[in-house]
Structure 1
């Protein structure tokens, strides 16, 4: 404690004297906890007082550079003590797993130009056998696989996943996700759907996964500067039908709300706003109805045909539970 106060690392706030020239070495530590810590210098053992939580005692020990272990801490709540000790052990264990198993896969992804990595942890007994003609359609081909039953058992506990996420965050990685997801291992059977289209059903197992990123400019990668993109699409259907240049059209009506151009009907451009043009649309519709009544029937039948093309038959078979 004196070494931290008067050593080289004097940039900490608690190593600076206050306005009275005093060093506050127990700032934020209650008198009950500080009295229990003083027993460590007499007997080498800290007995957690009643009403004091283990995280509070652990924070005080870290502040005063006292080793927090089963040989120095005696507590009645063994569950809380084992939880803190498990967190320490999980942090040390995952740092070893990170260097031995995860980091080589991250390097392989980085060497191929990727800036993120998705790792799936399988057991030593898992077998992955995909159909080459009908592989899974969920993007699993971009996943890295680790065959390790020890790492699988490590990620089985949610507390260990929280510790691993904290370690990855301390190492500078971003967009970290850890959890359990279904992963396809082998093909179970092939079903024939209506129309003869095959459907491959895979066997899925619940396995841990890690997803992380080391991309520096993730906000700029998806940015598109629309000033540098020249649009080649024609937004006026009348110009497209007549093959007239866009700059030669005269449109006097104000633009309406933006809708899908496939949902709008082509309109004939008007010449002027005079009174003689008010009846233009009505006369045009009446003339079209008189000139081509057969064409209207063809359009009506064509419209009903388009509606029928979007009808799908329900699946007669129940979905597989494994899918």
Structure 2
């Protein structure tokens, strides 16, 4: 009965994987009389080979990792973590800022501070918009010219800032917690990133209040239009103050020396020419108008936003009745018409040019009053 068994099946099942591999090799070399392996056994051989290859790869990878770990420990740790112990959130949902500062920032120059240099065990709690911020005061010493740097940069014992009854400091009144959180990033990274929920003018106001420079190197905004508008306002203020000192004040002084208490200035291009007929001058409505030939100032006043900035600067300098705009100004005569009766009429060419008008009159209301006194004859 044993002869009826399938020899190929029983022999193959009793063989070890190595014997099966040897037998398979003999079959491929031409031993046609030997029985062939079943597909299931071929799969077992492939799985065994894959398992051995995987084990070899894992062993090699483990030895590499071990060698790397020994090398890094012998050469010193490359970790950049600060040795500062992070402070915990107090009651009320405080925001925690560690004193680390390992940053290098943009095109305005690179600044790098070590983490340990800006870190201390001392912590202060700042309250802004009913939100608590737990901060290392050493963080502010890196920017001593800012308001927070002046308040907390020196020793707290010698600081004029006084805490409340719970030892917390209420600062930046009127600022939102979102804006103040963005401002704190400046002390850590040197850059203020404008949050999406904060307008650029609001961030600008906060930077001015906290004495933080507002420029393209320290402020980054997704809203480029708003950022460039604020930068243009600052640039326009500086540019107009330069025009004021170099080109405008001297004309105002000339008017004041004549006894006038107001001044009217027209801004023409550098190549504009004024040629009026001496017998028939144009009617401008101004007895004494000063002419300033400046293409740069003409381009400056072309923008209404720049005129608004200039008006604000003149107000800050104490001037009144300020008017800035663009109006037609006669440059030269085009032709002369003869009206019935022999009267001549001169037609002038007008160009649109900026003008400024301002006054420094103090007793404006009294100047309009006419006092009629009765005099006995």
TM-score (normalised: structure 1)? 0.65
**2:253 aligned partner:** 107
Q: Which runs of 5+ in 1 are unaligned?
A: 8-14, 233-323
Q: What is the 5 A alignment of 1:199-218?
A: 199-218=345-364
User: Equivalents in 1 of 2:304, 2:273: separation in Å?
Assistant: 25
- Which of 294, 298, 313 pairs up with 1:148? 294
Describe the shift of the 1:189–1:54 C-alpha distance in structure 2 as closer, same or farther (beyond 3 A).
Answer: same
Provide the alpha-carbon RMSD of the alignment: 2.3
Partner of 2:188: 42
Structure 1 counterpart SS, 2:296: helix
Question: 1:1-323 counterparts in 2 under 5 A?
Answer: 1-2=147-148, 5=151, 23-226=169-372, 228-229=373-374
How many pairs does the alignment contain?
A: 225
Structure 1 pair 187–73 and aligned structure 2 pair: CA distance change class (3 A): same
Deviation per residue, 1:182-223 (Å, 9 max, x gap): 100000001122222211100000000000011111111111
Q: State the SS of the aligned residue for 1:146.
A: strand
C-alpha deviation, 1:224, in angstroms: 1.4
Q: Which runs of 5+ in 2 are unaligned?
A: 1-146, 154-160
Q: Distance in 2 between matches of 1:158 and 1:3?
A: 38
| 8 A contact 2:148–2:210 mirrored in 1 | no
| Cα separation, 2, equivalents of 1:184 and 1:230 | 47
Query: Structure 1's 191 and 87: CA in aligned 2 closer, same or farther, altered over 3 A?
Result: same
Deviations 1:55-78 (A, max 9, x none): 011111111111101001111111
Closer/same/farther in 2, CA of residues 148 and 45 from structure 1, 3 Å limit: same
Deviation by residue 1:103-125 (Cα, 9 ceiling, x = unmatched): 11011111111111000000011
- Cα offset, 1:141, TM superposition: 4.5
Does the 8 A contact of 2:266 with 2:353 survive in 1?
yes
User: Taking structure 2 as the reference length, what is the TM-score of the superposition?
Assistant: 0.56
Deviation per CA, 1:33-54: give whole Å up to 9, x if none: 1111111111111111112100
SS of aligned partner of 2:212? coil
Offset of residue 6 of structure 1 = 8.5
Residues 1:89 and 1:134: Cα distance change in structure 2 (over 3 Å):
same
**1:92 & 1:184 partners in 2: Cα distance?**
31
Q: 1:118 to 1:6 in 2, by over 3 A?
A: farther
Q: Measured at CA, do residues 64 and 113 of structure 1 come closer, stay the same or move farther in structure 2, by a change above 3 Å?
A: same
How far apart are the structure 1 equivalents of 2:186 and 2:150? Answer: 18
For residues 6 and 173 of structure 1, the distance between their equivalents in structure 2, rounded to whole angstroms, comes to 39
> Which structure has more RCO (C-alpha within 8 Å, separation ≥ 6)?
1
CA change 1:54–1:17 in 2 (3 A) is: same
Kindly state the Cα deviation for residue 19 of structure 1 after the two structures are TM-superposed.
Answer: 7.9
Structure with bigger gyration radius: 2
Three-state SS of the structure 2 residue aligned to 1:39 is helix
1:23 positional shift: 3.9
Going from structure 1 to structure 2, the CA distance change for 1:100 and 1:87 (only over 3 Å counts) comes to same
